[in-house]
Structure 1
């Protein structure tokens, strides 16, 4: 399993999430507390939005705690919307192309979880990606397939529905050709204007997601684990829910792929 953190609000330095807090994302890369593996050392990545519609992207295969360039970038780059991730591989190789976040056009996407038995039906999953988005398929992870399948399902016009349909299609493949757990998912994604986060599982174990608004920063943080043990006002996103954050605030609603998967 992996750990991730995202932010939407008044621009801040990336280090205010990635490295400065007591339980920052870099701290979680070595000592995570709410996942099966405490160490998430199979690479890292950060995507941020600024003057251009496409996100900036910095990813590498080193453990986040050992890369001084990540700390330097986080110290100098300021953004009002960014996504960051530290990886613990569930089987795919350690390579830069397999590090999250993934980016295509104005969208970026990061994921924690798994699609059960993915290696056994990876070819079938790849073939579901529309030709216009398959050019962005650079790695070998189920996470990247999920992202590009959502792009194929119409993420530009219906982000929530596109991801729900994509989760349902991959969960359906896993039920037909894969293994349990068929789907475990916590993910965050953005088009540079709105930040989305989702938590879902086909069983009773869904990867953790929390969020909170900071009046001091005038912004929202959405994380796999709270960034500071002294901050007690985090809200847990419950399984089967999707969170939408934009200039109007944060709204939760039902995610709903389970019904689509059972109907497929």
Structure 2
């Protein structure tokens, strides 16, 4: 299982400052979640750029370079813990996407091909790796390409998985577009992962800061209430850079 963090701000910051005090405790999770890392940022021309590597976040200079030199007002960062049997390589490293959007997932579902009919052969042909997470992204992308806004696209893709998968531990994910950062949370409370990790493991929490930032993240370091707010199950949080508007969408 993976770890996620995303942030938006009123102004542009280097990524290290965008994630600020949450960055180092988040990166400490790479000691366990060490099968790759990836970032995605919104760039000034309104597109999305991603950088990723199939290595532990502390093992090379590239991540530090990205954190110090890449600047944005909206970004996400993913630490991968590969599901058993899935190769640790660049094609399976999050985030997935292109210049329009980037997607990172924490969880798994089986079988991997349960979404293939939803995605369709044309979009499925664009897949680079073998993960269920990339299929989740492609299902969201199919809905967006068909005209849905990202909030509804995330919810409908999650519905598709829930209806057809044999099991699904978690569908937690972040989606970055040129307009906003989106977070969706859902997990199976009876998952064996919960038995091992505890009931809060799949929680997503978010907060705003006095210096004009908003952050959403997986658990793994102290996130006390009321500073941090729990994102309800099966809800989407939309975070707007610039205005710092945060809206929670349910069904």
Same fold (TM over 0.5): yes
1:54, CA displacement in angstroms?
Answer: 2.7
How far is 1:24 from its partner? 3.4
Aligned 8 A contact 1:25 1:85 in 2: no
Alignment of 1:157-176 (within 5 A): 157-174=148-165
5+ unaligned residues in a row in structure 2: which ranges?
195-200
1:259 counterpart residue number = none
Q: Secondary structure at the match of 1:138?
A: coil
User: Can you give the 5+ residue segments of structure 1 that lack an aligned partner in the other structure?
Assistant: 31-38, 257-264
**Distance in 2 between residues matched to 1:78 and 1:14, nearest whole Å:** 6
Q: CA RMSD in A?
A: 2.5
TM-score by length of 1: 0.80
Choose the corresponding residue for 2:171, options 185, 202, 214.
185
For the residue of structure 1 that corresponds to 2:171, the secondary structure is strand
SS in structure 2 at match of 1:24: helix
The match for 1:33 is none
On the 8 A contact 2:239/2:246 being kept in 1, the answer is yes
**Pairs within 5 Å for 1:81-100:** 81-91=74-84, 92-100=86-94
Looking at structure 2, the residues matched to 22 and 229 of structure 1 have their Cα atoms a distance apart, in angstroms, of 13
What is the aligned partner in structure 2 of residue 144 from structure 1? 134
Between the aligned partners of 2:77 and 2:63, the Cα distance in structure 1 is 11
Partner of 1:242: 236
1:53 Cα shift? 3.1
Shift of 1:226: 6.9
How do residues 57-206 of structure 1 correspond to structure 2 at under 5 angstroms?
57-91=50-84, 92-115=86-109, 117-119=110-112, 122=113, 124-154=114-144, 157-174=148-165, 178=166, 180=167, 182-203=168-189
TM-score norm. by structure 2 comes to: 0.84
Q: Runs ≥4 in structure 1, deviation > 4 angstroms? A: 17-23, 226-232
Structure 1 counterpart of 2:198: none
Contact preservation (8 Å) 2:30, 2:58: yes
CA offset at residue 212 of structure 1?
A: 0.9
**Cα deviation 1:167-193 (Å, max 9, x = unaligned):** 12222221xxx3x3x351211102121
Contact 1:18-1:84 within 8 A present in 2 as well: no
Residue 241 and residue 231 in structure 1: after superposition, are their counterparts in 2 closer, same or farther (change >3 A)? closer
Distance in 2 (alpha carbons) for counterparts of 1:2 and 1:125: 21
Q: SS at the partner of 1:184? A: coil
Name the structure 1 match of 2:197: none
Q: How many residues align?
A: 237
SS in 2 for 1:128: helix
Contact 2:186 / 2:234 at 8 angstroms: preserved in 1? Answer: yes
Equivalents in 1 of 2:120, 2:99: separation in Å? 14
Quote how far apart the aligned CAs of 1:132 are: 4.4
Q: 2:14 — aligned with what?
A: 13
- TM-superposed CA distance for 1:236, in Å, is 1.5
SS of the residue corresponding to residue 156 of structure 2 reads helix
